[in-house]
């Protein structure tokens, strides 16, 4: 089976690496002009001239990131199966549509308002009560296109810094920690849920993911599964879906969803019986889903900006290095390391031991270290 992937970055690369043992071949369709997949066949098409050529070379189509033209996915879907469905792309590209859908499905969200000017942003901040987070309705990821307002007086500066005609203004959530759940749905409607991960961000970028999330009450995992299953069924979704959440004293509050394999699921490559990447390929190819149980305890460390001392990390018997074949640049995701352990205490020590070889890695802080 020939699988077409819209986008040609590291997620596409890891999808292909998981798909080759299942005898899949891959064609990447890159609209950015700077593909980094480094394998498979890559069609670079900034002008949209070679879409029919791409279509002729593939049996099924998926995508590795959500910031691509919905009309391209819709056009392809008229000719070949496209998983996940273009509607999932449409929802994820518009924070207003996303929050509205969450509300319709009974998924808790922060209180929110829409603003289309500095004045209406100020009014929203006053009505919701500061602090609030203002985010561009479209685009924006890894903390881009956002501003935190500690006072309504900061509205004008926040509006200027975001630079979008419409923003969603959300009441700041007082949370214990950030978590995510990753699920996969097959063509026949079968659904599997990975153990939830606890995520630590620094300057808007994910730095550490621990899975299974430590100290997670059973009902919290069940709530997350109920929320994401509602999304999967509503969208008639096929493939991997991610739901980012805040854990609060009142329960889970949804932040956003991603219609794809996700950075907070990279731990699953060594840490789960079947990785998120293999399960996505299984799903979009029409195969049965694989076992999603954790093999033990894992922590994923992102490699950001510079590679650091990779050889020292390769010497660590519990570390698994994944490099994306990218050049160094501040803030750029260059790879990740998966750390495995038999206990959370051992995991903390191993993560800290590995992180010392990655320049610029923030101190490892989590619910595990907070207790120390």
Asked if 199 and 180 count as a contact pair (C-beta separation under 8 A), the reply is: yes
Q: Does the annotation list 239 as a binding residue?
A: no
Asked if 268 and 240 count as a contact pair (C-beta separation under 8 A), the reply is: no
Question: Tokens in use for 217?
Answer: 């009450």
Asked if 59 and 2 count as a contact pair (C-beta separation under 8 A), the reply is: yes
Q: What percent of the chain is modeled with pLDDT above 70?
A: 98
User: Over the chain, what is the mean pLDDT?
Assistant: 95
Q: Do 288 and 229 sit in the same domain of this protein?
A: yes
Q: Does the annotation list 171 as a binding residue?
A: yes
pLDDT above 80 for 141: no
Q: Do 77 and 125 sit in the same domain of this protein?
A: no
Q: Could you report the per-residue pLDDT of 68-121, keeping only the tens digit for each?
A: 899 999 999 999 999 999 999 999 999 999 999 999 999 999 999 999 999 999
Please tell me the distance from the alpha carbon of residue 64 to that of residue 7, in angstroms, as a whole number: 6
Residue 219 lies in a domain: yes
User: What is the dihedral sign for C-alpha 49, 14, 246, 156?
Assistant: negative
pLDDT of the residue at 138: 86
The 112-115 sheet, strands edge to edge: 112-115, 167-171, 132-136, 146-149
> What's the rounded mean pLDDT across residues 347-359?
97
Q: Do 181 and 142 sit in the same domain of this protein?
A: no
Q: Do 197 and 296 sit in the same domain of this protein?
A: yes
Omega of the bond leading into 242 within 30 degrees of 0 (cis): no
Q: Does the annotation list 66 as a binding residue?
A: no
pLDDT of the residue at 139: 78
* Domain count of the fold of the chain: 3
Please tell me the distance from the alpha carbon of residue 145 to that of residue 153, in angstroms, as a whole number: 19
Q: Do 122 and 77 sit in the same domain of this protein?
A: no
Residue 105 lies in a domain: no
Residue owning tokens 């002008």? 47
Q: Do 162 and 275 sit in the same domain of this protein?
A: no
Instruction: Report the candidate in 361, 365, 237, 212 with the shortest Cα–Cα distance to residue 296.
Output: 212
Of 138, 171, 204, at which residue does a domain stop?
171
Residue 99 lies in a domain: no
Please tell me the distance from the alpha carbon of residue 284 to that of residue 279, in angstroms, as a whole number: 9
Q: Do 207 and 246 sit in the same domain of this protein?
A: yes
Give me the domain span that covers residue 144.
111-171
Of 34, 61, 82, at which residue does a domain stop?
82
Please report, to the nearest 10 degrees, the dihedral formed by the alpha carbons of residues 274, 280, 285, 289 taken in order: 40
Q: Could you report the per-residue pLDDT of 209-243, keeping only the tens digit for each?
A: 999 999 999 999 999 999 999 999 999 999 999 99
Please tell me the distance from the alpha carbon of residue 89 to that of residue 77, in angstroms, as a whole number: 13
Phi/psi of residue 174, each to 5°? -85, 95
Q: Do 181 and 325 sit in the same domain of this protein?
A: yes
Please tell me the distance from the alpha carbon of residue 212 to that of residue 197, in angstroms, as a whole number: 5
Residue 153 is part of a domain; what is its CATH number?
A: 3.30.1490.20
Q: Does the annotation list 122 as a binding residue?
A: no
Q: Do 200 and 59 sit in the same domain of this protein?
A: no
Contacts of 203 (CB under 8 A, 6+ apart): 143, 331
Q: Does the annotation list 142 as a binding residue?
A: yes
- Neighbour tally for 17: CB within 10 Å: 19
Residue 74 is part of a domain; what is its CATH number?
A: 3.40.50.20
Q: Do 279 and 333 sit in the same domain of this protein?
A: yes
* 239: Cα separation from own chain's centroid: 13
Q: Does the annotation list 178 as a binding residue?
A: yes
Q: Does the annotation list 234 as a binding residue?
A: no
> What's the rounded mean pLDDT across residues 15-36?
96
Q: Do 146 and 76 sit in the same domain of this protein?
A: no
> What's the rounded mean pLDDT across residues 27-51?
94
Residue 303 lies in a domain: yes
- Neighbour tally for 224: CB within 10 Å: 25
Q: Could you report the per-residue pLDDT of 269-324, keeping only the tens digit for each?
A: 999 999 999 999 999 999 999 999 999 999 999 999 999 999 999 999 999 999 99
Q: Could you report the per-residue pLDDT of 152-168, keeping only the tens digit for each?
A: 999 999 999 998 899 99
Q: Does the annotation list 173 as a binding residue?
A: yes
Please tell me the distance from the alpha carbon of residue 152 to that of residue 25, in angstroms, as a whole number: 53
Question: Tokens in use for 218?
Answer: 């059973």
Residue 95 lies in a domain: no
Residue 92 lies in a domain: no
- Neighbour tally for 209: CB within 10 Å: 29
pLDDT of the residue at 145: 82
Residue owning tokens 């409607």? 189
Q: Do 207 and 249 sit in the same domain of this protein?
A: yes
Reduced to 3 states (helix: H, G, I; strand: E, B; else coil), residue 352 is helix
Residue 78 lies in a domain: yes
Residue 58 lies in a domain: yes
Q: Does the annotation list 140 as a binding residue?
A: yes
Phi/psi of residue 222, each to 5°? -65, -40
Q: Does the annotation list 135 as a binding residue?
A: yes
Q: Does the annotation list 28 as a binding residue?
A: no
Helices (H), the chain: 10-19, 51-56, 70-77, 86-92, 95-104, 118-128, 155-162, 218-234, 268-271, 276-285, 310-314, 344-355, 367-370
pLDDT of the residue at 372: 45
Instruction: Report the candidate in 368, 303, 336, 237 with the shortest Cα–Cα distance to residue 14.
Output: 336
Residue owning tokens 């609060």? 248
Q: Does the annotation list 172 as a binding residue?
A: yes
Q: Does the annotation list 229 as a binding residue?
A: no
Contacts of 148 (CB under 8 A, 6+ apart): 131, 132, 133, 134, 158, 172
Of 102, 137, 171, at which residue does a domain stop?
171
CA angle, residues 211, 216, 218, in degrees to nearest 5: 115
Residue 190 is part of a domain; what is its CATH number?
A: 3.30.470.20
pLDDT of the residue at 297: 98
């Amino acid at each position: 089976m020939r699988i077409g992937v819209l986008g040609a970055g590291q997620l596409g690369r890891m999808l292909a690496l998981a798909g080759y043992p299942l005898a899949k071949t891959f064609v990447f369709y890159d609209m950015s002009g700077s593909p980094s997949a480094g394998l498979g066949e890559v069609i670079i098409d900034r002008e949209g001239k070679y879409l029919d050529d791409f279509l002729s070379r593939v049996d099924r189509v998926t995508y590795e990131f959500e910031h691509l033209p919905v009309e391209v996915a819709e056009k392809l879907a008229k000719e070949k199966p496209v998983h996940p469905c273009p509607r999932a792309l449409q929802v994820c590209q518009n924070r207003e549509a996303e929050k509205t859908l969450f509300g319709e499905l009974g998924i808790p969200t922060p209180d929110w308002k829409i603003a289309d000017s500095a004045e209406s942003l100020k009014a929203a901040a006053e009505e919701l009560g500061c602090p609030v987070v203002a985010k561009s309705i479209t685009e924006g990821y890894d903390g881009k296109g956002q501003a935190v307002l500690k006072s309504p007086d900061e509205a004008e500066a926040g509006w200027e810094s975001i630079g979008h005609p419409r923003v969603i203004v959300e009441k700041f959530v007082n949370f214990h920690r950030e978590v995510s759940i990753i699920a996969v749905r097959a063509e026949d409607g079968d659904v599997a849920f990975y153990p939830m991960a606890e995520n630590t961000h620094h300057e808007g970028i994910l730095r550490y993911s621990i899975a299974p999330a430590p100290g997670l009450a059973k009902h919290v995992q069940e709530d997350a599964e109920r929320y994401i299953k509602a999304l999967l069924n509503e969208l008639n979704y096929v493939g991997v879906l991610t739901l980012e959440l805040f854990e609060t004293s009142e329960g889970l509050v949804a932040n956003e969803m991603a219609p794809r394999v996700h950075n907070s699921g990279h731990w699953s490559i060594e840490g789960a019986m079947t990785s998120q990447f293999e399960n996505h390929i299984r799903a979009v190819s029409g195969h049965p889903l694989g076992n999603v149980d954790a093999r033990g305890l894992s922590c994923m460390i992102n490699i950001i900006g510079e590679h650091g001392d990779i050889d020292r990390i390769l010497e660590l018997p519990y570390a698994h290095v994944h490099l994306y074949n990218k050049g160094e640049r501040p803030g750029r995701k260059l790879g990740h390391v998966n750390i495995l352990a038999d206990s959370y205490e051992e995991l903390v020590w191993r993560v800290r031991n590995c992180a010392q070889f990655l320049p610029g890695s923030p101190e490892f802080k989590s619910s595990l270290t907070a207790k120390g």
